[in-house]
Chains A and B, each alone.
Chain A
Amino acid sequence: ADDKTEEQAQADAQYQPLVPAGPAADPRWSDNSTGTVQLGAGYTSDDNFMFGQYNGLHNDGASLIGNLRWRSAAGGDSWWRASVDDLGLETREGEFTWGMADKLRLELGFDSSLQVRNDSGMTPFRGGSTLRLPDNWSGGASTGDWATLGDALHRFDRELARDKLSASISAALNEQWRLNASLSHEVKQGTGDIGGAFYIDAADGDAALLPLDVDYRTTEAEIGLSYSGSRLHLDGRLDYSGFDNSDDALYWDNPYNTSAGPGGIALAPDNEQYRGRLTGQFILTPEARLQFDGSYALASQDQDYLDWSANPGVLIVEDLPRNSYDGEVAIGTFNGKLLLRPLPRFEIEAFYRARERDYDAPRDGYRYPRGDSANQPASALSVYNTAYDYHSHSGGAEFAYRLPLRSRLSFEYEYEVVRRDNVAVRETEEDRYTLAYRIQPWRNFTARLEAEYADRSASRYRWDQRYYALLDVELINATPDNQRYINHPAFSQYYLSNREQWAGKLDLTWLPADTWNLNLNLSWRDDDYGASDLGVTESEWARAYASASWTPSADLSLSIYAGADSFESDQDGRAFRGGAEKNAFEIYPPLPQASDPSRDWSLAATDTSLTLGANLQWQVSEALALQADYNYVDTEGEQDLADAGAADLAPEDFPAVETRLHHFEAAATWQVNARLALRLDYQYYDYDSNDWSLRNVSVTSLDNVLTLGAQNPDEEIHYLGASAIYRWE
């Protein structure tokens, strides 16, 4: 009895996370059967692209419900199991696994997914990798001039399907060594969209949104060997990933007659990556262990270049500097930890992380024609491709001490230095301090509090660096010193600039009774870019979430949650003209607009979201199970603008962008007898938005951009499914 009391006392002294009960089993799949098949039919009330964005139910009408779980009977030396989900939909997936205890495992699988996007837009283009306009196309200077546009427009689906086949094997070579290998092949096909531009002078360009034919293939293979000893565990892998794009380019007829056509875009180049990765753990002593995970990869591509221009009318006097990029980038990563427990209640975690990206690629000057309408420019206007080598190193330590009342106090310090080539800031350094406290004063209540402060300092802002990196020396010499920039000298790119960051989190969990779990989670973060005159100056993110679950028995659980997010950011700019963009070799006075603070403007953006949800799992009786899930999402995005007084600047606030979603799902499963069950599924989906970039914007709303003229989604969808579930022993 004394032993038991002591054990009980020890148990009471230990912190226990107040996690909800584990996930409930899907009532369709019973443990008592070796096989279960679900067959039936579903009906979707209307065509849609939001409800069916990812679930395969984007078309109206009937669809097949087909699901399968099948496994070998228990007790044999070997086992197998098979599953198929969504057999009747384009999101179907399946898997077959065969194994011999823990010695050998083979897996074969297929996985299809489908993404549909807003398909309410139209285009006059026909074709795949070469987009043609109808023969009777009558061009014009602007979209409103195209007399034959109306007849040429047709709807097109924006859908991307992924179909993946995979196989893997895992074999125990002996008690310590295990061999793993996998192979997969994925095809991604469908139609996306991309913007294409035509111009002689970019100040007066034309553009069209184009259907983009997608036909990708990715083959990946991995072989790994793992070792598991008493103190050393290693997992080494070599993998290959090859990406093949069937289309090298997208060409299209130019619908405008202000610039010569056609247009051409180089699509994602074929590329491949070889990588080695080693993950491991070495237990130095019972109180000390070393963990590491590092990789080294070589990614390369040598796709043949397209011509300077798709337009044969463009005058070319100088050939391409080379026929292909033939570029390679080496990516090294390392994450390491040293875990120490010098005292039973005291833990130290020292860590070091590194990431490097080094380019090995030729650097050439590209004397490229602007737009597909201009002739090749002077050689002094050549632009040089640039390598953006990146080196990041961080290290630090966390010290944690377990205190009375099941509490834990920790302090972490991290130092990070990032070095980049050919960007405005050569180096940034950041110190980060995190203080966290967790306490469980009563067995049914846990509180966690975390505060974080980080201070990032940037080396001198070299606003001329990208100018030097990209442009020809002749042009640089012809440009006055104070105009040798691409971004305004007072402008700071937020991810490269000085920043003070404060963040806090509070998490409270309370179990007022064994059947209840209540949680409140608050977090806040403020990023202050106080040293930035122009650019992002501040952002603030506040979040509040609450949830409650009630599980009075194994047969009933009910949970609700609510969350609110608010993200605000402030950014400043200065409207200015002049400099190299307008005429590279004309000497301007020192940019009067650029030094005029009355030309400043500011944008305050606020994004808010409210999410509410409830979930019910109820085994009403031995024969009847009910499930219900409801989600409500309400978002709003605001952009308020202000100016500093320049007469020609009067930016107005954008209208707020709002979205609303109600999504209700319910299922009832009635067990007719030991083998047969009937199931009804119902979903109600109601979504609408009022995005100003779609509202009342037709294909011809803009003179110089042919848009898709897509409309805001406004969907009210009902889905009903009826199926039979048959089980066998």
Chain B
Amino acid sequence: EDGPGCLDCHSPEPDSPVHAIYDNVHGTLEGGGANACTACHGASEVHDRRGKRAAPDVSFGPRWPADLETRNGACVSCHASGDQLLWTGSAHQQEDMACTDCHTLHRASDPILDDRQATAFCGECHSQVRGELRLPSHHPIAEGELACGDCHNPHGSAGDAALRETSINDNCLGCHQEKRGPFLWEHEPVSEDCSLCHRSHGSVHDRLLVARGPALCQQCHSAAFHPSVPYGGESLGGNSGAYVVGKDCLNCHGQVHGSNHPSGARLTR
């Protein structure tokens, strides 16, 4: 017999997931057929001869799981570029995660590639983020309009937090190009780091802010004018509420991300 005999034993049966591999692109590896099996599982000649009494060369478990490097090596031998380029050294790799902890190959479509299911699965371990996604102000991640993988590369990156872009601002400006500028009048924390004012996953405050105004603005502004004044509950009863209700400081300084108006030095126009 010329080729491997995997399909002699692993015949298509309703309860056997093995043949679902042929419903996705992995089923065509090495020309398809049983060669697709050995492309990932190795030649497995002993297993071919002894069946259930010997493990395939590369088994992904649950029985006979090969060591982690062997299992992941089978995937990385093809997926060494693109999103997986910086897998080695990534947080998930250092956590000794196996590719198959998230991915399921013997299916027509891998559930982790579905954004909503992926987000739910990420939250199983990243429980703090899962909670943040439900806060009153949040990015539409729990709703499935965005996925964790839109901002983070779970296979790793060279920067912080496995961000897809090389900086947090580049990540944010990928969707919020209107804030890219450069502006004639810049608000310097904006171009430095969006997370100085915003939380990316969710916040108890409107517009994902880290604190509510005017206190947020007063963390950096203490001028000889209204920013130096304490605004408390008494402001709600009088016209000094102009600085605390509505859009608080932004009632006037509406161009908080920067202004291109020649008269916009105070970010009011």
Contact = CB atoms under 8 A, between A and B. Distances in A.
A253 interface: no
B253 interface: yes
Contact of B245 (A353, A470, A603, A697): A697
Select the residue from A203, A325, A349 with max chain B CB neighbours within 10 A.
A325
Select the residue from A266, A320, A574 with max chain B CB neighbours within 10 A.
A266
Contacts of B177: 216, 218, 241, 243, 271
Given A11-B65, A271-B181, A54 B143 contact: yes
9 contacts: A20-B121, A54-B143, A102-B25, A195-B253, A295-B170, A491-B222, A493-B220, A601-B230, A635-B135
Contacts of B248: 693
Contact of B224 (A55, A494, A591): A591
B152 interface: no
A178 B224 CA distance: 60
A576 B228 contact: yes
Given A16-B96, A299-B182, A693-B244, A704 B239 contact: yes
B179 interface: yes
Please provide the 9 A-B residue pairs with the shortest distance between their CB atoms, ordered closest to farther. A651-B232, A54-B140, A266-B261, A335-B158, A368-B263, A652-B233, A197-B252, A268-B178, A601-B230
A385 B254 CA distance: 18
Given A14-B68, A113-B145, A308 B263 contact: yes
Given A22-B121, A216-B178, 9 more contacts: A17-B97, A271-B182, A301-B181, A307-B262, A565-B131, A579-B224, A693-B244, A697-B245, A705-B245
Contacts of A14: 67-68, 96
A559 B245 CA distance: 41
Interface in B179-200: 179-186, 188-189, 191-193, 196
B269 A265 contact: yes
A269 B260 contact: yes
Given A16-B96, A197-B251, A361-B182, A563 B127 contact: yes
B253 to A, nearest CB: 7
Contacts of B145: 54-55, 91, 113
B178 to A, nearest CB: 4
Interface in A13-54: 14-17, 19-20, 22-26, 29, 31, 53-54
Contacts of A353: 159-160
Contacts of A692: 233, 236, 245
A547 B122 CA distance: 13
A535 interface: yes
B5 to A, nearest CB: 20
Given A243-B178, A535-B222, A543-B128, A708 B246 contact: yes
A705 to B, nearest CB: 5
Contacts of B251: 195, 197, 207, 209, 705, 707
Contact of A279 (B32, B86, B109, B222): B86
A300 interface: yes
Interface string B116-154: 011011001101101100111000100101000000000
A447 B85 CA distance: 29
Nearest to B189: A495
A639 interface: yes
Nearest to A71: B108
B136 A633 contact: yes
A336 B128 contact: no
Nearest to A24: B111
Contacts of B28: 101
A255 interface: no
Contacts of B192: 357, 388, 390, 420, 495
A22 B86 CA distance: 22
B250 A195 contact: yes
A478 B102 CA distance: 67
B81 A328 contact: no
A55 B124 contact: no
A25 B107 contact: yes
Contact of A707 (B86, B88, B239, B246): B246
A664 to B, nearest CB: 13
B205 A607 contact: yes
Contacts of B211: 569, 605, 607
Nearest to B220: A493
A311 B9 CA distance: 85
Contacts of A565: 128, 131
A257 interface: no
Select the residue from B20, B102, B232 with max chain A CB neighbours within 10 A.
B232
A578 interface: yes
B131 A385 contact: no
Contact of A573 (B32, B89, B127, B230): B230
B11 interface: no
A2 to B, nearest CB: 14
A725 interface: no
Interface residues of B, number: 118
Given A54-B143, A291-B158, A575-B229, A269 B181 contact: yes
B215 A605 contact: yes
Nearest to A394: B160
A590 to B, nearest CB: 12
Interface of B: 17, 20, 22-23, 25, 27-28, 32, 65, 67-68, 78, 80-82, 85-86, 88-89, 94-97, 100-104, 107-109, 111-112, 114, 117-118, 120-121, 124-125, 127-128, 130-131, 134-136, 140, 143, 145, 157-160, 166-167, 170, 177-186, 188-189, 191-193, 196, 204-205, 211-212, 215, 218-225, 228-234, 236, 239, 241-242, 244-248, 250-255, 259-266, 268-269
Nearest to A275: B170
B7 to A, nearest CB: 14
A594 interface: yes
Contacts of A704: 239, 242
Interface string A186-214: 00000001111101001101010100000
A20 B124 contact: yes
Select the residue from B78, B218, B259 with max chain A CB neighbours within 10 A.
B218
Contacts of A549: 124
Select the residue from B22, B67, B85, B107 with max chain A CB neighbours within 10 A.
B85
A243 B117 CA distance: 32
Interface in A136-188: 178
Select the residue from B81, B140, B234 with max chain A CB neighbours within 10 A.
B81
B260 A266 contact: yes
Interface string A656-676: 010101010000000000000
A631 B142 CA distance: 11
A235 B20 contact: no
Interface in A612-649: 613, 615, 631, 633, 635-637, 639, 641, 643, 649
A289 to B, nearest CB: 6
Interface in A51-65: 53-55
A120 interface: no
Contacts of B86: 279, 281, 291, 293
A501 to B, nearest CB: 15
A655 interface: yes
Select the residue from A26, A265, A547 with max chain B CB neighbours within 10 A.
A265
B138 to A, nearest CB: 9
Contacts of A22: 100-104, 111-112, 121
Contacts of A79: 25
B228 A573 contact: yes
A661 B134 CA distance: 9
Nearest to A54: B140
Contacts of B232: 639, 641, 651-654
B134 A574 contact: no
A597 to B, nearest CB: 14
Contacts of A102: 25, 78
A289 B124 contact: no
B127 A561 contact: yes
Contacts of A577: 224-225
A609 B135 contact: yes
